[in-house]
């Protein structure tokens, strides 16, 4: 069965895995901010956060440095965030720790306020009348049950929410249409790999998705050449942090 275009969404929202979807939004000029847009998060952690309505997210005692200087990991929720709580590796011990050349409490307070804003924005979004398209991408072999769990979590907690979910994988993992009304398994030729981001993203594949599952109001084009190489490379090692 040929996939039919599904058009007229009010917003695109990334559900994470890593930052690739958010960067592709940026490339086409779509700058909508959201809680998971530039995070690294596994599906089970995403489900737990929704199940618990963001309880205990971004508490100071749960934050540790991730494996790159500009990211931190919340060990309670399992999310890695971009952050100005910078860290560095001690050359003698090899241990990564937060740097001491800034006021940790001051930066934390600023970022805690930002996270609280994003949580409020999420709650308003899922309670609104807007039509939302969520993106989640998986480089590795995943499975239908993983996608179903995300769908079922949304249906359980946001029963009045008007949404669709794109579950994006490389064509090497192709399966026939799963046949769900609100969940669509879709494919690009390749996704930007975690450990070799020099190959970047399948821009044509992403553009096809943006065309097939289009916004009501198209963003102005913003050409960001080679952003994949320059920015995605910063995220390549965080999953193992």
Q: Which two structure tokens, joined as six digits, stand for 196?
A: 């070799």
The span from the CA of 34 to the CA of 22, in Å, is 9
Beta bridge partners of 133: 12, 164
pLDDT at 241: 32
- For the entire predicted model, the pTM comes to 0.86
Q: Are strands 63-65 and 39-40 parallel, antiparallel or unpaired?
A: unpaired
Question: Residue 23 belongs to what H/E stretch?
Answer: helix 20-27
User: What would the mean pLDDT of 10-25 be, rounded to a whole number?
Assistant: 90
pLDDT at 32: 87
User: What would the mean pLDDT of 181-205 be, rounded to a whole number?
Assistant: 82
pLDDT at 234: 44
Q: What is the mean pLDDT of the chain?
A: 87
pLDDT at 237: 40
Per-residue model confidence as pLDDT tens digits over 31-65: 889 999 989 899 999 999 999 999 999 999 999 99
The span from the CA of 188 to the CA of 173, in Å, is 10
CB 168, CB 201: distance < 8 Å: no
Confidence of residue 195 (pLDDT cuts 50, 70, 90): low
Per-residue model confidence as pLDDT tens digits over 172-187: 999 999 999 999 999 9
CB 37, CB 136: distance < 8 Å: no
pLDDT at 200: 81
Q: Are strands 11-14 and 71-74 parallel, antiparallel or unpaired?
A: unpaired
Please check the confidence at residue 136 and state whether its pLDDT lies above 90. yes
Work out the burial of residue 18: count CB atoms within 10 Å of its CB; fewer than 13 is exposed, 13-18 middle, 19 or more buried. Answer: buried
User: What would the mean pLDDT of 228-236 be, rounded to a whole number?
Assistant: 41
Please check the confidence at residue 198 and state whether its pLDDT lies above 70. no
pLDDT at 169: 93
Cβ atoms within 10 Å, residue 62: 14
**Angle of helix 144-157 relative to helix 43-51, nearest 10 degrees?**
10
Please check the confidence at residue 203 and state whether its pLDDT lies above 50. yes
The backbone torsions φ and ψ at residue 169, rounded to the nearest 5 degrees and listed phi first, read -135, 165
Per-residue model confidence as pLDDT tens digits over 62-114: 999 998 899 999 999 999 999 999 999 999 999 999 999 999 999 999 999 99
Domain boundaries, the chain: 11-240
The span from the CA of 26 to the CA of 42, in Å, is 22
Please check the confidence at residue 227 and state whether its pLDDT lies above 90. no
């Amino acid at each position: 069965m040929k996939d039919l275009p599904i058009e007229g969404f009010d917003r695109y929202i990334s559900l994470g895995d890593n930052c690739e979807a958010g960067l592709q939004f940026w490339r086409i000029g779509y700058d909508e901010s959201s809680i998971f847009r530039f995070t690294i998060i596994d599906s089970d952690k995403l489900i737990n956060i929704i199940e618990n309505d963001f309880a205990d997210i971004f508490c100071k005692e749960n934050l540790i440095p991730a494996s790159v200087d500009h990211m931190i990991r919340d060990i309670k929720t399992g999310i890695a965030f971009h952050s100005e709580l910078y860290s560095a590796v001690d050359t003698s011990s090899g241990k990564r720790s937060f740097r001491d050349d800034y006021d940790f409490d001051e930066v934390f307070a600023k970022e805690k306020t930002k996270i609280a804003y994003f949580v409020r924005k999420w709650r308003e979004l899922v309670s609104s009348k807007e039509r939302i398209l969520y993106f989640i991408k998986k480089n590795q072999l995943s499975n239908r049950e993983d996608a179903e769990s995300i769908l079922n979590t949304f249906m359980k907690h946001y029963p009045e929410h008007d949404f669709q979910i794109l579950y994006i994988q490389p064509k090497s993992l192709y399966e026939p249409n799963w046949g769900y009304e609100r969940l669509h398994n879709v494919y690009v030729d390749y996704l930007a790999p975690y450990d070799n981001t020099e190959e970047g993203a399948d821009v044509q594949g992403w553009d096809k998705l943006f065309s097939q599952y289009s916004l009501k109001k198209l963003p102005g084009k913003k050409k960001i050449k080679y952003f994949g190489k320059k920015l995605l490379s910063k995220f390549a090692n965080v999953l193992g942090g």
